[in-house]
């Protein structure tokens, strides 16, 4: 798979998502192709964000946060396996900034690191694909 969106502005996306109470990613994950790209990068199916979002309603939106933190940790492992230098996203980075970060800035900082790692992983996978001549 060729990854076309390797410059996603994570800080802005996190900021918008915070102000829309998660609704931005509810639409962006499937319609923007992010869900499919994450599954391709991580080499396995993941729970759709809309399911995590719905499970968040009775859990005061802790479930989607844990879901995203798990993806962040898997993405970190992928970046390390590709030999990419840090800093990378991680479970604690995603969870900590969302819970303990400044009310408006924490989610945006966490999302920035997540997308920074994802962008670098996708660029590296594109580079390797090109080198193989695929």
Contact 72, 93 (CB under 8 A): yes
pLDDT tens string 65-101: 999 999 999 999 999 999 999 999 999 999 999 999 8
Contact 122, 114 (CB under 8 A): no
Question: pLDDT value at position 118?
Answer: 97
pTM of the model: 0.93
| CA pair distance 134, 126, nearest whole angstrom | 10
Contact 59, 51 (CB under 8 A): no
Rounded mean pLDDT, 47-68 = 95
Q: Which two tokens stand for residue 84?
A: 């990419």
Neighbours of 8 (CB within 10 A): 19
């Amino acid at each position: 798979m060729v990854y076309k969106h390797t410059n996603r502005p994570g800080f802005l996306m996190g900021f918008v998502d915070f102000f829309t109470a998660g609704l931005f990613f509810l639409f962006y994950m499937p319609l923007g192709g992010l869900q499919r790209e994450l599954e391709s990068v991580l080499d396995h199916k993941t729970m759709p964000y809309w399911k995590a979002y719905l499970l968040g309603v009775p859990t005061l939106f802790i479930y989607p946060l844990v879901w995203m933190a798990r993806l962040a940790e898997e993405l970190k492992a992928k970046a390390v396996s590709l030999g990419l230098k840090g800093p990378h996203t991680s479970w604690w980075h995603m969870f900590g900034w969302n819970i303990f970060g400044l009310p408006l800035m924490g989610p945006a900082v966490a999302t920035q690191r997540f997308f920074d790692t994802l962008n670098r992983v996708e660029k590296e996978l594109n580079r390797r694909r090109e080198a193989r001549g695929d």
